Amino acid sequence: MSKQSYKVCFCFRRRFRLAAAEAPEDIKALFNQYSENEVMSLDQLHRFLIEVQKEENATLEDAQAVMGSLHEFKHLNMFHLKGLNIESFFKYLFGDVNPPINPKLGVHHDMTAPLSNYFIFTGHNSYLTGNQLSSDCSDVPIIHALRRGVRVIELDIWPNSKKDNVNVLHGRTLTNPVELVRCLRSIKEHAFFASEYPVVITLEDHLTPDLQAKVAEMITQTFGDMLFSPGSECLKEFPSPESLKKRIIISTKPPKEYLEAKEVKARENGSKKGKEEEAWGKEVNFKAKIDDEKNDDLEEREGDNNDEDDSKLHQNTAPEYKRLIAIHAGKGKGSISDWLRVDPNKVRRISLSEQELEKAVISHGKDIVRFTQRNILRVYPKGSRFDSSNYNPLVGWMHGAQMVAFNMQGYGRSLWLMHGMFRANGGCGYVKKPDFLVKAGPHNEVFDPKVKFPVKSTLRVTVYMGEGWYYDFRHTHFDTYSPPDFYTRVGIAGVPADTIMKKTRILEDNWIPNWDETFDFPLTVPELALLRIEVHEYDMSEKDDFAGQTCLPVSELRKGIRAVPLHTRKGDKYKSVKLLMRFEFV
């Protein structure tokens, strides 16, 4: 090797050498405040937990547990016999024992209210491995979804090529099918891995009555006593998640209603041929409306079931299949106002596409909120999302929609919000809706997301520093010849008045960036707010590189200084990458 090339190599290694992480000045100042002679005693740590970390109920035993978690550093001169030195204190703050959401909370929401009182972790086309047009259908993405905590699995069921069995596939596309029975068995095996609360199977049914009967037999044999099936009549009120622990629930449109919806649709399509639709502001009939999007998923629009022969449905409606349906779906006849009419004697589910919802909230926002106080609203992605992308879930949530259905095999900022919402309540897949979305006011008024409310609280976020990229990424991943130039984006996803993103300055050539910047976020509806955190690496000539993300429910943020693990684009946690942050409500 020439002297010159050796020099270049040495320089390259030197540039990528990792400097030791050092506590920010604020952390050093806090340590000095709560220590004596450069040692933080057990009593001083206990006081720090109460006064700075805002753990009002912290005991001396809790402080001792923190010290115990640092035993591995005793031989590294980072731990003093009488307490913590600055290095071990810093390791505690930046360690896995100090997460932003308290893992000890577990499931802590009231789980005894009706299902309609909860946001539910909901999948869309749960069987697809990739895009909506040509990917394989499989039970593998169903398993992955259940193990992540998803509680609503959607299956599109169609006759196989011989019409003697039932497959799951995305109809009228090139997706390769998977047998229904395989999906059902995988649901049974993995349903309660992440949560003991009920799993709902929503069926998009495209079957003849004889195959419906076959499905009823499959479901009954597979799930047995796990199945919650109250009979053929609509429920007067939904049961609670607590009462349905480890139960499987079937939700679909009863067969007779499929036929009626198809006949109505055929008549309406005939009558409107050659005419333009009325303006949205008038009471239009959503039933006849087909999205402007090309190739929208017709089978998604409840009531289409137009691949089978009507006469068979006239002759028989597979009563054993109908008896399995616990959550009845279907919009019924008429306009959006008719769909959203609340029946005091029964509850049901309706489905709207993301486009239908966006249009409906303009003129019927409060009606939707009132409907979802007792009934269930499912929202699904528009059909043109062939790449399995997703939409803004807050539109549905702020109107009380329980089942905001997402393509879990996709990724992107919308899915990060979904993951963030369901980190709440112990990750059990059910998050209790705020009271203002489940109860009417003293004058029977309901929450109106269009109204700008006064600021209820202000979240103050300090982004101190980050570390871990040096260990989790190739050293040339961000820049070939120099360390990365990181910056952090931090902000709120929530009601429109609260939604905002801010960013730190860019720190050049540093594997361990130390920003030490503070941001204030006034919140008008903190109950629906999610804290968004992203780290990027600045690239002058190309798109900035992704370097990690997470999303956290503001309602469950632990006050104080916390170690915030970051995740990949797909939502998997990095082994080492994390930020040191402080959360305060001022």
Pair 512, 21: CB distance under 8 Å: yes
Could you tell me if 55 and 191 lie in one domain?
Answer: no
Q: Could you give the 3-state DSSP secondary structure of residue 404?
A: strand
To the query of whether residue 314 is one of the catalytic residues in this protein, the response is no
pLDDT value of position 410: 83
Which position among 46, 170, 206, 419 bears the catalytic label? 170
pLDDT band at 541 (very low <50, low <70, confident <90, very high): confident
pLDDT value of position 550: 98
CB burial string 316-346: b at 16+ within 10 A, e below:
ebbeebbbbbbbbbbbbeeebeebbeeeeee
Q: How far apart are CA 378 and CA 373, in angstroms?
A: 13
Tell me the torsion sign for CA atoms 393, 141, 202, 152.
negative
Neighbour tally for 550: CB within 10 Å: 24
Supply the mean pLDDT for the chain: 88
Assess if residue 336 is contained within a domain: no
Backbone angles phi, psi at 61, to 5 degrees: -65, -35
Token output for 188: 């049974």
Pair 251, 201: CB distance under 8 Å: yes
In the DSSP assignment, the letter for residue 36 is B
State which residues form the domain around 518: 451-586
Q: How far apart are CA 488 and CA 512, in angstroms?
A: 13
pLDDT value of position 226: 97
Assess if residue 343 is contained within a domain: no
Could you tell me if 120 and 86 lie in one domain?
Answer: no
pLDDT band at 109 (very low <50, low <70, confident <90, very high): very high
Pair 495, 365: CB distance under 8 Å: no
Is residue 268 pLDDT above 70, yes or no? no
Could you tell me if 230 and 316 lie in one domain?
Answer: yes
Assess if residue 431 is contained within a domain: no
Token output for 18: 């990792």
Total structural domains in the chain? 3
**DSSP per-residue letters across 458-517:** EEEEEEEEEE-HHHHS-TTSS-SSS---EEEEEEEESSTTT-EEEEPPPB-S-SS-EEEE
List, for residues 452-510, the tens digit of each pLDDT value: 999 999 999 999 999 999 999 999 999 989 999 999 999 999 999 999 999 999 999 99
List, for residues 542-557, the tens digit of each pLDDT value: 899 999 999 999 999 9
User: What is the mean pLDDT of the segment spanning 305-331?
Assistant: 67
Which position among 46, 109, 124, 475 bears the catalytic label? 124
Could you tell me if 283 and 164 lie in one domain?
Answer: yes
Could you tell me if 149 and 88 lie in one domain?
Answer: no
Q: How far apart are CA 469 and CA 208, in angstroms?
A: 55
User: What is the mean pLDDT of the segment spanning 30-45?
Assistant: 96
pLDDT band at 80 (very low <50, low <70, confident <90, very high): low
pLDDT value of position 288: 32
Pair 533, 490: CB distance under 8 Å: yes
- The contacts of residue 445 (CB under 8 Å, 6+ apart) are none
Could you tell me if 140 and 270 lie in one domain?
Answer: yes
Q: How far apart are CA 101 and CA 342, in angstroms?
A: 37
Q: How far apart are CA 576 and CA 558, in angstroms?
A: 21
To the query of whether residue 124 is one of the catalytic residues in this protein, the response is yes
CATH code: domain of residue 518: 2.60.40.150
User: What is the mean pLDDT of the segment spanning 352-366?
Assistant: 96
Name which of 194, 206, 115, 122 is nearest 160 in CA terms. Answer: 206
Is residue 332 pLDDT above 90, yes or no? no
pLDDT band at 260 (very low <50, low <70, confident <90, very high): low
pLDDT value of position 79: 56
Assess if residue 55 is contained within a domain: yes
Could you tell me if 34 and 131 lie in one domain?
Answer: no
Could you tell me if 458 and 571 lie in one domain?
Answer: yes
Q: How far apart are CA 248 and CA 197, in angstroms?
A: 9
Assess if residue 445 is contained within a domain: no
Q: Which residue has the higher pLDDT, 306 or 558?
A: 558
Q: How far apart are CA 30 and CA 52, in angstroms?
A: 9
pLDDT value of position 397: 98
pLDDT band at 522 (very low <50, low <70, confident <90, very high): very high
Read off the pTM. Answer: 0.88
Assess if residue 107 is contained within a domain: no
Assess if residue 441 is contained within a domain: no
Could you tell me if 46 and 161 lie in one domain?
Answer: no
pLDDT value of position 333: 83
Q: How far apart are CA 546 and CA 469, in angstroms?
A: 11
Question: In a 10 Å sphere around its CB, with 0-12 CB exposed, 13-18 middle and 19+ buried, how is residue 488 labelled?
Answer: buried
Residues paired with 80 in a beta bridge: 83
pLDDT value of position 266: 55
Q: Which of 31, 62, 93 is the last residue in one of the domains?
A: 93
Could you tell me if 83 and 155 lie in one domain?
Answer: no
Q: Which of 58, 93, 128 is the last residue in one of the domains?
A: 93
Could you tell me if 56 and 140 lie in one domain?
Answer: no
Q: Which residue has the higher pLDDT, 286 or 63?
A: 63
CA distances, 167 to each of 265, 413, 451, 568 (Å)? 26, 32, 46, 33
pLDDT value of position 269: 55
Backbone angles phi, psi at 311, to 5 degrees: -60, -35
List, for residues 137-191, the tens digit of each pLDDT value: 999 999 999 999 999 999 999 999 999 999 999 998 999 999 999 999 999 999 9
CATH code: domain of residue 61: 1.10.238
CATH code: domain of residue 320: 3.20.20.190
Q: Percent of the chain beyond pLDDT 90?
A: 77
Could you tell me if 420 and 489 lie in one domain?
Answer: no
pLDDT band at 305 (very low <50, low <70, confident <90, very high): very low
